[in-house]
Structure formats: structure tokens, C-alpha cells
Amino acid sequence: MDTVEHVRERLLARFPGAEVTVVPNGSPAGQHSLLISAAHALEIARYLRDEPGLAYDQCSNVTGIDWRDREVIDIVKDSQPGAPGGPPVVVERKVKRIEPGYLEVVYHLYSLARREGPVVLRLRTGNRSTAVSVPSLTPVWRSCEFQEREVFDLFGVVFTGHPDLRRILMWDGYQDHPMRKDYVEPDDYEWEPTPHGDVLTKAKRHYPAPTAPGMTNDE
């Protein structure tokens, strides 16, 4: 069984300049993943596929994850001059900062030849708006072709080097990326036959105001 550390060592031995980081997985599944830098992604992928000792010949699953901006609170310690002659006073203050979000593409690799896997590769974009490019791994694994198109369609990740990067599930003129966490869906809840839960909340925005006392639009 290949461990991620083992794969990482082999990758670093082959590509000394590459950034390969182990991303630990907190769940009992224990499927830890490797975060690789975009610059070396394509050659790392080729190496994983072609190196006989690794032979990850099947890329089973490709998907995206949208990580939003996170608010992080840091505790900063400042030393201020204390009373004259005395020691400086350390004052703690909380500093809020926004850790920028990013889009992540996750690849699950398996080796049919060696019956190994999964090795989970992760690629991250710079942010969620302007730097959304990652290299496409379709030239290495053909199975990425439609799945990367899907990630492009639903998350807005641009795969450079993809042979045919178009929308796949939504129509061509569509402009949103609906799987992003901040996507707002069109409001077409004018009327619902059996509303409950969130649907009721959404539908109520359209309900007419009571026209006479005693009339209600509840239920």
C-alpha cells in the first residue's frame, strides 16, 4: 500500500523544485491527499501515470470544491513601554483578517495494474475571481475531459491546455457558476402547491399581502 508520504518522497526525488504538500484528512477514511503546485502539475501527473513503480493509470474522479473566504482571528502581542523604569507591558489584541478563499480541484487516482489507490491530488487556484486557472490533466488521463469541463461549468475553474473547454451541463450562454457557495439561484417560487421548509420561505416572498382583515396567506 502506497502511503501519501511515500508517493510524496518519490515525487520530490524526481522533481526537486516542485511543491508537494500532504493535506491530512481528519476523517476515519484516512485518505490523505497531496497538494501539488500548478507549475509542476502536468509533469507530476505524467510521472505518476508512467513510472512503473507507481503506474496510476486511471483517474477515476475529478471534482471541484469552492472554499470561501474565511475570517481568521489572530492574537498579536505588542509590547508597549510600561511605567517609567519598569518593564514593558505586553498587550494582546485580536486582529481579524480575511484568509482568501480559493477553488480546489481534486483528482482521485487509482492503479489498475497494481491495484493501488486512491492517491488524491489537489490543485488550488490563486483566488476565486481573477486567478482561477489550473493546468488541465486531460492530456494525461482522458477521463478528465468531461469531468474538468463540468468543474469549469459549475465552479468556474479554467483549465489551461484542455482540448475542448466549454460548458457541459448548463447551456452555452449561461454566465453563472452554480456550484459556488455564493451562487444565488433565480427566484421562481411564485407559487408552490405544497410548500414547506426553505421552499415556503422562498415562496412567501411572492405571496400577496392580506387584502382584508381576517384573510391570511399562511399555510
Partner 1 sequence: MNETQPALTSQERDELRRQGVLLTSLEELYNWGRSHSVWPLNFGLACCAIEMIAASMAKFDIARFGSEVFRPSPRQADLLIVSGTVTKKMAPHVVRLWNQMPEPKYCIAMGACAISGGPFKQGYNVLKGIDRFIPVDIYIPGCPPRPEALLHGLVQLQEKIRGQALTGPEAPRHLRSDDACDCPVPELGAHDIEPSHAPGVWSSPSLVRPDKG
Partner 2 sequence: MFDANPAASPSARVRKVEPSSFGFQPSSVPPPAGGGGDLLEISLGPHHPSTHGVFRMNVVLDGETVVRLKPVFGYLHRNHEKLGEGTSYLGSMPYTDRLDYLNSMTNNWAYAIAVEKLAGLTVPERAEYVRVILAELTRLLNHTCLAGFLMQDCGCSGTPLMYAFRERERILDLFESLSGSRMMCNYQRFGGCRVDPTPAWLAAVAQLVDRYGPFLDEFEELLTGNEIIMARTQGVGRLPAALAVNAGVTGPMLRASGVGHDLRKVDGYGVYPRLNFRVPVGDHGDVYDRYMVRVLEMRESISLLRQALAALPGGPVLDPKAKQRGLRPKAGEAYGRIEGPKGEIGFYLVSDGTANPYRYRVRPPSFVNLTVLEDLCLGHTVADAVIILGSIDIVLGEVDR
Give buried/exposed letters for 138-166 (b at 16+ CB in 10 A, else e).
bebbebbbebbbbbbbbbbbbbeebeebe
Contact 165, 172 (CB under 8 A): no
Minimum CB–partner distance for residue 162 and partner 1 (Å): 22
Minimum CB–partner distance for residue 69 and partner 1 (Å): 22
Nearer to partner 1, 108 or 149 (CB): 149
Contact 77, 90 (CB under 8 A): yes
Residues 27-56 that bind partner 2 (CB under 8 A): 27-29, 31, 33
Q: Match 484568509 to its residue by C-alpha cell.
A: 99
Rounded Cα gap, residues 42 and 140, in angstroms: 8
CA distances to 139, 154, 156, 215 from 174, in Å = 27, 11, 12, 41
CA distances to 39, 71, 104, 190, 215 from 195, in Å = 50, 35, 35, 11, 19
Contacted entry of partner 2, partner 1, none for residue 199, CB cut-off 5 to 8 Å set by kind: partner 1
Interaction of residue 199 with partner 2, rule CB under 8 A: no
Cell (9 digits) for 172: 452555452
Q: Match 471534482 to its residue by C-alpha cell.
A: 63
Interaction of residue 118 with partner 2, rule CB under 8 A: yes
Minimum CB–partner distance for residue 91 and partner 1 (Å): 49
Chain residues in the site for partner 1 (CB under 8 A): 169-171, 173-176, 178, 183, 185-186, 188-194, 198-199, 206-208, 210-212, 214-217, 219
Interaction of residue 139 with partner 2, rule CB under 8 A: yes
Contacted entry of partner 1, partner 2, none for residue 120, CB cut-off 5 to 8 Å set by kind: partner 2
Rounded Cα gap, residues 122 and 113, in angstroms: 23
Interaction of residue 201 with partner 2, rule CB under 8 A: no
Stretch that binds partner 2, among 81-89, 106-114, 187-195, 201-209 (CB under 8 A): 106-114
List residues near partner 2 by CB under 8 A.
25-29, 31, 33, 57-61, 63, 65, 106, 108, 112, 115, 118, 120, 139, 141-143, 145-147, 154, 163, 167-172, 178-179, 198
